[in-house]
Structure 1
Amino acid sequence: MAEAIEAQDSLVEYGFRRVIITITAILCALLEIVDTTIVNVALNDMRGSLGATLTDVAWVITAYAIANVIIIPMTSWLSKQFGRRNYFAVSIVIFTFSSFLCGNATNIWELVAFRFVQGLGGGALLVTAQTIITESYPAAKRGMAQAIYGMGVIVGPTLGPPLGGYLVDNYSWPYIFYINIPIGIIATILTIMYVRSPKYGEKLRANQVDWWGIVFLTAFIGSLQFVLEHGQQDDWFEDHMIVTLSVVSVFGLVAFIWRELVYKYPIVNLRVLRNTNLWTGTIMTFILGFGLYGSTFVIPIYTQSILGWTATDAGLLLIPSSITTGLMMPIIGKLLERGIPAKYLVAGGFIGFFLYSLWMHNLLTPDTSSEAMFWPLVVRGMGLGLLFVPITTLALSTLKGAEIGEGAAFTGMMRQLGGSFGIAIITTMISRLNQQHRVDLIPNISAVNTQTQEQLKGLQQMFIGKGFSFNEALDRAYQVLEGKIMLQGTVLTYMDVFLYLGILFLICVPFVLMLKKGAGKVDTSSVH
């Protein structure tokens, strides 16, 4: 035990080296996270230049996400096999080179294949970066370490859309991939020069590798990610492929848990979840991912489809929220260092998210201004700051040595899965609630409703004045009213989505406060 603590302490860095290592890790985390959202605004351009359908081009996002969530749980094991520095450096090289290949893809399926490879490199960057930062700081400063890492993780999804919009509007879509290349080269050089590997035990021989664990994990996570990404557009369980993959995912999960608990050299150490702080933090990380990626997904769709904004404008709207989060991070890191229990900060974060969701629910209209959304988004930024750092600190604070990497892999995977569940559920809600609101609003266009008749006559006269015949003008008038109903129904749908998101966060508050006394306080017992 003393040797493990000594090995862990030997990785703590000070002064210039720690600054360089921290910058390198954040650069890599940003590379990975920006790439999950930067593609969204370029899909139309890709579709046009590569001659792909909308369903085909959606695979550019799906392939990356599937590769990401498959590799994340394996990162700790792969680090042990190849040495952390080597694995981290190779992952950056894979990510950077596949970015170059993505930009040079000549058809949609080439691009999808290269995005999958990019996802395999990218998944490693996020979790390994978190482990490197955590181990570079002494245990008493873990809160500040997570605050620094969190700035990259929270700002990343928000930077993606405006950066992608700017590059697509001013250059062309391959540049959203080319921008990774210089950053990747710098990060690789800094990693080789400064990052150190922990001393792990003997490497496994090929016949000891948990191949069945890898197969079951891939079946479980890969199938689940596909179901979440494509469920709504394929009408969920009405589609044979979705049903089949759901069964494969459940079977894969059960088989994976059984295999990891009985095999001597498991690919993922599930026993680390015995740590109460880790499994509590893992559940909260899932909810955080749900809120972070869900709200980042809803706002650009609302502003572009209802308010008619450009992709760049929609992305820029989220920047005040990110700046607020960035400013909150070091403050919250300091509060944790002073011994304030993480559970109180997390409860405050969930309440902040509830207030933001309720505020957005109340101000949405077909012509809401960006000024009206400024303060709610600032509250969202404060809520994210209060959630991210304490949750990650809570999850990892009592882990030591190799367990830190294993814990970071669980929290990383659950944040990604939380985001996937959030987007899948919100997409389904938007589709189903939209239909329901349209059905509810249609009776308002009634022949006996005098207000409707007056609107119809006014619109008809306007079209007649533009040279349309009596019947054509009446058809046009009905189309305008139908459009208004569709618009109102969509706004009501987004209002409902924000209300339900708010209720979810409010429900979490009492559960957080029920955590055992002292949960989330940083364990300083290993500091010497």
Structure 2
Amino acid sequence: MEQDSLVEYGARRVIITITAILCALLEIVDSTIVNVALNEMKGNLGATLSEVGWVITAYAIGNVIIVPMTSWLSQQFGRRNYFAASIIIFTVFSFLCGNATNIWELVFFRLVQGIGGGALLVTSQTIITESYPIEKRSMAQAIYGLGVIIGPTLGPPLGGYIVDNYSWPYIFYINIPIGIAAVMMTLQFVRSPKYSEKRKAKDVDWYGIVLLAAFVGSLQYILEKGHEDDWFESREIVILTVVAVIGFILFLWRELSCKYPIVELRVLKNGNLRIGTVMSFILGFGLYGSTFIVPLYTQSILGWTALQSGALMIPAALTTAFMMPIIGKLLTRGVKQQILVSLGLLIFFIYSFWGYKILTPNTGKDDFFWMLMVRGAGLGLLFIPITSLSLSTLKGKEIGQGAAFTGMMRQLGGSFGIAAITTFISNQTSIHRENIAQHLDANSFDVQQRVAALKASFIAKGYSPDVALQSAYKLLDLNVLKQASVLSYMDVFLYLGLLFLVCIPFVLFVKERKGREPIDVSEAMH
């Protein structure tokens, strides 16, 4: 592959950078903007809560299946054509999502939209990286990282604003003009690398594609739906677990024995990529986990609106954005990636421990501010260094293959994180609830006084004495549940922090690159 021929200068490079960031933003904003609109969709399409959850799940499954194949598809069809086709699929299915008349139509359109979207992230990063000369690659990563970090944070407030002022289909229609502009700019300015070989149809690893889709799709379903269906109590979850395990084993065997595999597993012989892949998984776990837990806490426990809890995350995203170019410069000057990643993990531990300390049933907006700023700084120190560490010793085609791994692992890390956190919160809440209830003795003077005071306040509102007493006990029970929920959120913060702390020694053992050539980082980041 001719690397240097793709370097662009002047206005062309600016236009290509803007196109690629627009596409990355389209895909990322779309994965989080929907969260805020689920209630509206539920009422509008007459769906249950678990059915409407599929709008998020289907998109994630489409993403995860396509990401490992992007490197191969770019070689098959030429990068520019594949990139433009992905934007067209994404845009057309955005329009269809907005026009869906029932929930399963919407879920199918979201799946296909996710397949179009998966390519946008990985490919837009390669395009940016290869448009910059090697000595400016870390800076290119920083520019790309800006879009990737700000995207998930923009989704909820933007979605909240659209839903409050218009109606839910507009969260999809907003993609259409951007998509059309991006297709035109791609066809006009983006160039494809010269690939030495194309595969004939008979050489395509069809079995690999089917096994990958079966294994990753089943795994993603289990992670997204396991908690709702009570894990292995559900027949579907048991069947899909068997499919995922068998699919995984057959997929490994197929890819290692096939002449032209769809996913090049041999690239994992590289030690740095192996460690980077694990770190990407943990980063996804922490990044998506904490992006998921803070809005959930502020909305379910503190009663904030979607717009308020989305806006809370904006200053932290700006902190990360501010950090990105600084970290790009530090890497260019030769600061070791291991040091930056370890520092990022330590800061993430401080953020989590801080969260553990400040959570109460009425934590104020100001209490979150500095804690989230610390999270923003930690993310900045993790994102680019982990990517450049993973790909630092790869060459040529391996870069795209390695990038697809880190991208997929970050996505799966996020799904694992959200699944683990929801299950953990619900289990811990029932444990804490029992513990608190044991300490509430009906004969205790304090408890009797509290019940009497609540009963009196209900009588004052015009309730009859027996209804007032029932209402007083109900309210007391709700307070117990709220306290138990707060304690379980505190546990999540504490354990997330410890997870990041434990990783620091492993990062410090990573091998140093031979020589001091500038980092050539390409693809990844989801």
TM-score by length of 1: 0.96
Instruction: Give the corresponding residue for 1:449.
Output: 444
Q: Specify whether residues 469 and 522 from structure 1 end up closer, same or farther in structure 2 by C-alpha distance, changes over 3 A only.
A: farther
Question: 2 CA distance for matches of 1:40 and 1:101?
Answer: 18
Q: Specify whether residues 119 and 524 from structure 1 end up closer, same or farther in structure 2 by C-alpha distance, changes over 3 A only.
A: closer
User: Which stretch shows the higher mean deviation, 277-286 or 368-377?
Assistant: 277-286
Any conservation in 2 of the 1:277–1:520 contact (CA below 8 Å)?
no
Counterpart among 476, 501, 510 of residue 471 in structure 2: 476
CA offset digits 1:298-349 (Å, max 9, x no partner): 0111000111100011111000110000000000000000000001000011
**Partner amino acid for 2:409?**
M
Counterpart among 7, 15, 18 of residue 20 in structure 1: 15
Matching of residues 213-224 of structure 1 within 5 Å: 213-224=208-219
Any conservation in 2 of the 1:131–1:404 contact (CA below 8 Å)?
no
Q: Specify whether residues 106 and 419 from structure 1 end up closer, same or farther in structure 2 by C-alpha distance, changes over 3 A only.
A: same
Q: How far is the alpha carbon of 1:466 from its aligned partner? A: 2.5
Instruction: Give the corresponding residue for 1:331.
Output: 326
Q: How far is the alpha carbon of 1:518 from its aligned partner? A: 4.2
Instruction: Give the corresponding residue for 1:123.
Output: 118
Q: How far is the alpha carbon of 1:400 from its aligned partner? A: 2.4
Instruction: Give the corresponding residue for 1:55.
Output: 50
Q: Specify whether residues 49 and 15 from structure 1 end up closer, same or farther in structure 2 by C-alpha distance, changes over 3 A only.
A: same
Matching of residues 297-312 of structure 1 within 5 Å: 297-312=292-307
Question: 2 CA distance for matches of 1:521 and 1:507?
Answer: 29
Q: How far is the alpha carbon of 1:516 from its aligned partner? A: 2.0
Q: How far is the alpha carbon of 1:233 from its aligned partner? A: 0.4
Question: 1 CA distance for matches of 2:236 and 2:480?
Answer: 34
Q: Is 1:196 matched with 2:191? A: yes
Q: How far is the alpha carbon of 1:524 from its aligned partner? A: 5.8
Instruction: Give the corresponding residue for 2:524.
Output: none
Any conservation in 1 of the 2:392–2:513 contact (CA below 8 Å)?
no
CA offset digits 1:7-44 (Å, max 9, x no partner): 11221222222221111111111111111110011011
Instruction: Give the corresponding residue for 2:107.
Output: 112
Instruction: Give the corresponding residue for 2:251.
Output: 256
Counterpart among 395, 401, 404 of residue 409 in structure 1: 404
Q: Is 1:439 matched with 2:434? A: yes
Q: Secondary structure at the match of 1:121?
A: helix
Any conservation in 1 of the 2:356–2:491 contact (CA below 8 Å)?
yes
Stretches of structure 1 lacking an aligned partner (at least 5 in a row) = none
Question: 2 CA distance for matches of 1:447 and 1:150?
Answer: 56
Q: How far is the alpha carbon of 1:272 from its aligned partner? A: 1.4
Instruction: Give the corresponding residue for 1:75.
Output: 70
**Partner amino acid for 1:400?**
K
Q: How far is the alpha carbon of 1:85 from its aligned partner? A: 0.3
CA offset digits 1:118-157 (Å, max 9, x no partner): 0010001011111112222233322212111111111111
Any conservation in 1 of the 2:390–2:402 contact (CA below 8 Å)?
yes
Instruction: Give the corresponding residue for 2:495.
Output: 500
Any conservation in 2 of the 1:394–1:522 contact (CA below 8 Å)?
no
Instruction: Give the corresponding residue for 1:427.
Output: 422
Instruction: Give the corresponding residue for 2:510.
Output: 515
Q: Specify whether residues 270 and 204 from structure 1 end up closer, same or farther in structure 2 by C-alpha distance, changes over 3 A only.
A: same
TM-score by length of 2: 0.97
User: Which stretch shows the higher mean deviation, 454-463 or 226-235?
Assistant: 454-463
**Partner amino acid for 2:460?**
G
**Partner amino acid for 1:420?**
S
Question: 2 CA distance for matches of 1:377 and 1:46?
Answer: 30
**Partner amino acid for 2:344?**
G
Q: How far is the alpha carbon of 1:202 from its aligned partner? A: 2.7
Question: 2 CA distance for matches of 1:520 and 1:251?
Answer: 42
Stretches of structure 2 lacking an aligned partner (at least 5 in a row) = 522-526
Q: Specify whether residues 524 and 476 from structure 1 end up closer, same or farther in structure 2 by C-alpha distance, changes over 3 A only.
A: closer
Would you say how many aligned residue pairs link Structure 1 and Structure 2? Answer: 521
Question: 2 CA distance for matches of 1:520 and 1:37?
Answer: 41
Any conservation in 1 of the 2:392–2:520 contact (CA below 8 Å)?
no
Counterpart among 27, 32, 36 of residue 31 in structure 2: 36
Any conservation in 2 of the 1:398–1:523 contact (CA below 8 Å)?
no
Q: How far is the alpha carbon of 1:112 from its aligned partner? A: 0.8
Q: Specify whether residues 520 and 379 from structure 1 end up closer, same or farther in structure 2 by C-alpha distance, changes over 3 A only.
A: farther
Any conservation in 2 of the 1:398–1:522 contact (CA below 8 Å)?
no
Question: 1 CA distance for matches of 2:519 and 2:493?
Answer: 40
Question: 1 CA distance for matches of 2:13 and 2:108?
Answer: 36
Any conservation in 1 of the 2:138–2:519 contact (CA below 8 Å)?
no
Q: How far is the alpha carbon of 1:370 from its aligned partner? A: 0.9
**Partner amino acid for 1:96?**
T
Q: How far is the alpha carbon of 1:291 from its aligned partner? A: 0.8
Q: Specify whether residues 326 and 524 from structure 1 end up closer, same or farther in structure 2 by C-alpha distance, changes over 3 A only.
A: closer
Q: Is 1:372 matched with 2:344? A: no
Counterpart among 345, 349, 352 of residue 354 in structure 1: 349
Counterpart among 281, 285, 296 of residue 280 in structure 2: 285
Instruction: Give the corresponding residue for 1:137.
Output: 132
Counterpart among 455, 458, 461 of residue 456 in structure 2: 461
Q: Secondary structure at the match of 1:10?
A: helix
Any conservation in 2 of the 1:390–1:520 contact (CA below 8 Å)?
no
Q: How far is the alpha carbon of 1:522 from its aligned partner? A: 5.5
Question: 2 CA distance for matches of 1:68 and 1:279?
Answer: 22
**Partner amino acid for 1:444?**
H
User: Which stretch shows the higher mean deviation, 33-42 or 456-465?
Assistant: 456-465
Q: Specify whether residues 525 and 297 from structure 1 end up closer, same or farther in structure 2 by C-alpha distance, changes over 3 A only.
A: closer
Q: Is 1:225 matched with 2:208? A: no
Question: 2 CA distance for matches of 1:293 and 1:496?
Answer: 17
Q: Is 1:173 matched with 2:168? A: yes
Counterpart among 123, 137, 157 of residue 152 in structure 2: 157
Q: Secondary structure at the match of 2:3?
A: helix
CA offset digits 1:74-119 (Å, max 9, x no partner): 0011000000000000000000110011001111111111111100
Any conservation in 1 of the 2:391–2:520 contact (CA below 8 Å)?
no
Any conservation in 2 of the 1:397–1:520 contact (CA below 8 Å)?
no
Question: 1 CA distance for matches of 2:192 and 2:122?
Answer: 15
Q: Secondary structure at the match of 1:448?
A: coil
**Partner amino acid for 1:124?**
A
Q: Specify whether residues 358 and 274 from structure 1 end up closer, same or farther in structure 2 by C-alpha distance, changes over 3 A only.
A: same
**Partner amino acid for 1:432?**
N
Question: 2 CA distance for matches of 1:332 and 1:340?
Answer: 9
Any conservation in 1 of the 2:286–2:496 contact (CA below 8 Å)?
yes
Any conservation in 2 of the 1:88–1:128 contact (CA below 8 Å)?
yes
Question: 1 CA distance for matches of 2:283 and 2:514?
Answer: 18
Question: 1 CA distance for matches of 2:360 and 2:402?
Answer: 43
Q: Secondary structure at the match of 2:6?
A: coil
Counterpart among 309, 313, 334 of residue 314 in structure 1: 309
Question: 2 CA distance for matches of 1:13 and 1:251?
Answer: 46
CA offset digits 1:386-435 (Å, max 9, x no partner): 00011111122332222222122111111111100000000101110111
User: What's the % identity of the aligned pairs?
Assistant: 67
Any conservation in 1 of the 2:324–2:380 contact (CA below 8 Å)?
yes
Instruction: Give the corresponding residue for 1:485.
Output: 480
Any conservation in 2 of the 1:347–1:513 contact (CA below 8 Å)?
yes
Question: 1 CA distance for matches of 2:134 and 2:382?
Answer: 20
